[in-house]
Amino acid sequence: MAGKVSTAPRSPRYATVMRRLRNAIASGRYGAGEQIPTEHAMIRSFRVSITTVRKAVEELCREGLLVKRQGLGTFVTQRCRRVGVVCPYPSASWVAMHESLHTGLRKLGISLRTHHYVWLEAAAFAEDLADAAAESDAVVVFPPYRLTEPDVAALVKVADASAPLVILDRVIPELAGRASLATIDYESGFQRLITMLCRTRRRIAVLVDPAHPACAGLRSAAVASGVGERVVEGPFFQDDASVFAALNSLFAGRPGPDGVVAPSSKIALSVHAVLSARGLSPEAVEVAAAGELPLLQSVGRSMWALDLRRGELGERLAGLVARLLQGDKAPARLIVEPGVVYLDAERLLSVKTA
C-alpha cells in the first residue's frame, strides 16, 4: 500500500542551511571569531546550490551571527551578544513570553540574562535596570505597575545610552522617541470582548485599575463600545479587598450587572467568588477577562477571555531585538493582537475574530 504524500509546505533550502549553521555554532563546532567553511565546501556538505549557500550566509550576516571579511572569508561574530531582561519576581504571567524570547534569541546566537526585581522593594527596579544595562548590549524591560520618578529617571538614563532599550507593555511618555515598544493590543481585544457581551447582556460593568497599563486600553474600549459610564475604578491589582468591595457594591443594587469585564484572570476569579457567595448562577452573570487561559479554565464556568499570545510576542520580540542590535536606531513599535476564546467547563472553543 502506497504511503501518504505529505502536503505540508517545505522550508526553503537556504533556511535548512541556516539552521544547520546555527546549530554548529551553538554546539561550539565553530567558535566566536572562527571561520566557517568556504562556499564550495558547504555546497558539497549540504548538497545545495551556490545561490542557496550565499542566501543562507547573507541572512546570518544580516542577523549578526556571521561577519564577512573581504578577501579572508566568513567568520562567526567575535563576541556573543547579550540581552538583559529586567522583570518582576515572580513573573508567572509572562512565562510563555520569556521562554519564547529566550528560544528566539538563542537561535540568533544571542544570549539572555534575566534580572528579577521584587514589586514592592524600594529601588529594586532601578538597581536591577542599572546592572542589566552595564553588562548587556540591549535591555528589555517589564516596568513596575507604579513607576516612581527615580524609576523613570533610570529608564531615561539607559535610553540615552547607546544600547537599545525595549519597553514591554507600557507607554512611558518620557521615553517617546528614545525606546522601542513591544505590547499587546489590549484596546482592540477588550473592545471585542465588550462587543460580544453586549450582544446578549445589557448591563455591563467594567473594572479598571488606573495604575495598571492594560487598563488604559480597557477604559478606551469601554468608551468606544458605549459603556464608558459603567466603569468602576479601584486599586484592584494591589488590593484584593477592593475587588470584593466593588463587586459587593455592584451586586447589592437591583438590578445588578448581568456582565462583568475584568482586566485579569485573578480579578475574574474574584468575580466568580462573589457570584457564588451571593448565590448567583453563572448563567445570570457572564464574565470576560484577560489572563492565563489555564487558570480561567479551572473556574469551570462560562466566560469570554483574551488569549494574550505572549508566546507570539516573545518570538517577534526576539526578531525586533536582533534588528536593533544590527544598528537599526529608529524606535520601533511591535504590537501583537490578542485572540478571543470562549471557555466553559467542557471545552475550549476558538472564536473567529476579525
DSSP string, 196-264: HHHHH-S-EEEEE-TTSTHHHHHHHHHHHTT-GGGEEE--TTT-HHHHHHHHHHHHHSSS--SEEEESS
Instruction: Say yes or no to pLDDT of 291 above 80.
Output: no
pLDDT tier at 7, thresholds 50, 70, 90: very low
Position 352 scores a pLDDT of 43
Q: Which of the two residues, 81 and 205, has the higher pLDDT score? A: 205
Position 56 scores a pLDDT of 95
Q: Tell me, what DSSP letter sits at residue 35?
A: B
What are the cell numbers at 195? 462587543
pLDDT tier at 79, thresholds 50, 70, 90: low
> Cell 567568520 belongs to which residue?
75
Instruction: Say yes or no to pLDDT of 2 above 80.
Output: no
Does the fold of domain 186-307+341-350 match that of domain 82-185+310-338?
A: yes
- Give domain 82-185+310-338's CATH architecture: 3-Layer(aba) Sandwich (3.40)
Instruction: Say yes or no to pLDDT of 121 above 70.
Output: no
3-state class of 29 per DSSP? coil
pLDDT tier at 339, thresholds 50, 70, 90: confident
Instruction: Say yes or no to pLDDT of 134 above 50.
Output: yes
Q: What is the mean pLDDT of residues 267-292?
A: 82
Nearest Cα neighbor of 263 from 328, 313, 309, 308 is 308
What are the cell numbers at 119? 514589586
CA 48 to chain centre: 37
Instruction: Say yes or no to pLDDT of 32 above 90.
Output: no
Instruction: Say yes or no to pLDDT of 348 above 70.
Output: no
Position 80 scores a pLDDT of 65
For the chain, what percent of residues have pLDDT higher than 70?
89
Position 199 scores a pLDDT of 82
Q: Where are the domains of the chain?
A: 13-76, 82-185+310-338, 186-307+341-350
pLDDT tier at 232, thresholds 50, 70, 90: very high
Q: Which of the two residues, 79 and 18, has the higher pLDDT score? A: 18
Nearest Cα neighbor of 236 from 201, 204, 271 is 271
Position 91 scores a pLDDT of 62
| φ, ψ at 138 (rounded to 5°) | -155, 155
Superfamily of domain 186-307+341-350, CATH level 4: Response regulator (3.40.50.2300)
Q: Calculate the alpha carbon distances from 342 to 197, 232, 282, 287, 349 in Å.
A: 11, 24, 14, 10, 6
Q: What is the mean pLDDT of residues 264-284?
A: 82
Q: Residue 348 CB: number of other CB atoms within 10 A? A: 14
Instruction: Say yes or no to pLDDT of 337 above 80.
Output: yes
Position 170 scores a pLDDT of 84
The H-assigned helical ranges of 27-170 are 39-46, 50-63, 95-107, 124-135, 149-160
Instruction: Say yes or no to pLDDT of 4 above 70.
Output: no
Position 282 scores a pLDDT of 64
Quick: pLDDT tens for 158-188: 998 878 999 998 888 899 889 999 988 888 8
13-76: CATH topology = Arc Repressor Mutant, subunit A (1.10.10)
Average pLDDT, the chain: 83
Position 207 scores a pLDDT of 94
Peptide bond into 255 cis (omega under 30): yes
